[in-house]
Amino acid sequence: MQIQVNGEARACRVDATVGDLLRDLAIKTERVAVELNLEILDRKDFDGRSLHAGDRLEILSFIGGGAPIGSHVRERGFVHAE
């Protein structure tokens, strides 16, 4: 069956769940948010939520990081004055 993942058409199994799709895509569930047909899903529901033809998913990955204090962060006033 066909679904949309991040705006791109993708084929998946008829009996697939959101969890199955994430595993097939090698996406770790600890640091993602998934929106299914405009509904944000709770991580605990990924394996129980079935996919259907025409479903639209948005998968967002969280990325950490930043700049060391003293760089552009301080210049823009994002750090409290000492």
- What pLDDT score was predicted for residue 32? 93
| 10-residue averages of pLDDT along the chain (82 residues) | 97 96 93 96 97 97 66 52 50
pLDDT at 52: 98
Q: Encoding tokens for residue 53? A: 């033809």
2-61: CATH superfamily: Beta-grasp domain (3.10.20.30)
Q: What is the pLDDT of residue 63?
A: 73
Contact 37, 6 (CB under 8 A): no
Instruction: Give the containing element (helix H, strand E) for 20.
Output: helix 18-24
pLDDT of amino acid 18: 98
pLDDT confidence of residue 70: 55
Q: Provide the CA 54 distance to its chain's centre, in angstroms.
A: 18
Domain regions of the chain by residue span = 2-61
